[in-house]
Amino acid sequence: SDHSLDYPASPADIDWSQHYPAHPGKVPEFADVGCGFGGLLIALAPQFPDTLMLGLEIRVQVSQYVHDRIAALRVTHANDDGKQYQNVSVVRANAMKFLPNYFTKHSLSSLFFLFPDPHFKSRKHKARIISPTLLAEYAYVLRPGGIVYTITDVKDLHEWMKLHLTNFPLFEPVDEDTLRAEGKGTIIDAVYRSTEEGKKVESNKGEKWLACFRRIEARR
Ligand code: SAM
């Protein structure tokens, strides 16, 4: 199912106006990797009406569900001011293999990894969505100053993501209070609470571990 014919060869081959007809000429700035049922996108869409957001989800039926959910919201809000939900869309994609096929260098300001699949067994660690190899791709698509948001209810995975992001030269840890002081509180709140997985963890009274990182300029 990862056959390369399913994917755009490069971001230049994507006609974003098919995804965002009300925003001609714009490209996505927020990417939600493994967006699941789309809770984050739906929560943030009205908060940042001029920012285009894209969810990437590997499961065909789940990505179709998000697609239909967005289409329905666009219809419901068609008469509202401000083109509600015109700024969110979704693609079915294996984000671990094809992120640079969708996003040009430094085009993203926010990259989300919310409650990613943990892959507990250590021989499967390379299947985790945060790995040393993939971080180079994440740094490529994120602009300097851009933020990677991670959250999980699996402590071991939290430590793993934090370790690899901290060790990668193009990312530096940034704490929650700093981001809130920069006006990113709305985003942080949505990261904690808006996704389907985040809600499930909440109803099970599970703990949530947040770790955020800033993409820094390469040192000379
Ligand atoms: N972020 C959502 C949330 O917080 O509700 C979903 C969390 S769910 C535990 C992880 C999601 O990542 C699943 O929907 C899964 O299909 C998706 N996923 C796993 N590997 C992926 C990949 N390589 N590319 C895109 N999506 C992936």
Position 2 pLDDT exceeds 60 = no
The mean pLDDT of the chain is: 92
> Mean of the pLDDT values across residues 162-184?
96
Q: What is the pLDDT at residue 119?
A: 77
Ligand 1 pocket, mutate which of 1, 6, 33 (most atoms under 8 A from CB): 33
184: confidence class by pLDDT, cuts 50, 70, 90: very high
Q: What are the boundaries of each domain within the chain?
A: 4-14+27-215
What are the pLDDT digits (tens) for 191-208? 999 999 999 999 999 999
What are the pLDDT digits (tens) for 118-135? 876 666 666 666 777 789
Phi-psi region of 44 (alpha: psi -120 to 50; beta: other; left: phi over 0): alpha
Query: Half-sphere exposure of residue 181, counting CA atoms within 13 Å on the CB side?
Result: 5
Q: In whole angstroms, what is the distance from residue 173 CA to residue 150 CA?
A: 11
Location of structure tokens 């808006």: 194
Q: What is the pLDDT at residue 126?
A: 62
Position 178 pLDDT exceeds 70 = yes
β pairing state of 108-114 and 53-57: unpaired
User: Would the CB of 196 count as within 6 Å of ligand 1?
Assistant: yes
How are strands ordered across the β-sheet holding 53-57? 88-92, 53-57, 30-33, 108-114, 142-152, 209-215, 171-173
Task: State which ligand 1 atom lies nearest to the alpha carbon of 200.
Answer: 5
Q: Where are the beta strands (DSSP E) in the chain?
A: 30-33, 53-57, 88-92, 108-114, 142-152, 171-173, 209-215
Position 143 pLDDT exceeds 90 = yes
Q: Which residues carry out catalysis?
A: 117
Q: What residues form DSSP beta bridges with 114?
A: 151
> Mean of the pLDDT values across residues 78-88?
83
Q: In whole angstroms, what is the distance from residue 203 CA to residue 218 CA?
A: 42
16: confidence class by pLDDT, cuts 50, 70, 90: very high
Contact (CB, 8 A) for 195 and 40: yes
Nearest to 74 by CA among 50, 93, 46, 54: 46
How far are the Cα atoms of 7, 34, 67, 123 from residue 62, in angstroms, in the given order?
18, 10, 9, 27
User: Would the CB of 191 count as within 6 Å of ligand 1?
Assistant: no
5: confidence class by pLDDT, cuts 50, 70, 90: low
- Output the known binding site for S-adenosyl-L-methionine: 34, 57-58, 94-95, 114, 195-197
Q: Which two tokens stand for residue 17?
A: 């106006």
Q: What is the pLDDT at residue 96?
A: 84
Query: What class does CATH assign to 4-14+27-215?
Result: alpha beta
How many Å lie between the centroid of ligand 1 and the Cα of residue 32? Answer: 9
Ligand 1 pocket, mutate which of 1, 32, 35 (most atoms under 8 A from CB): 35
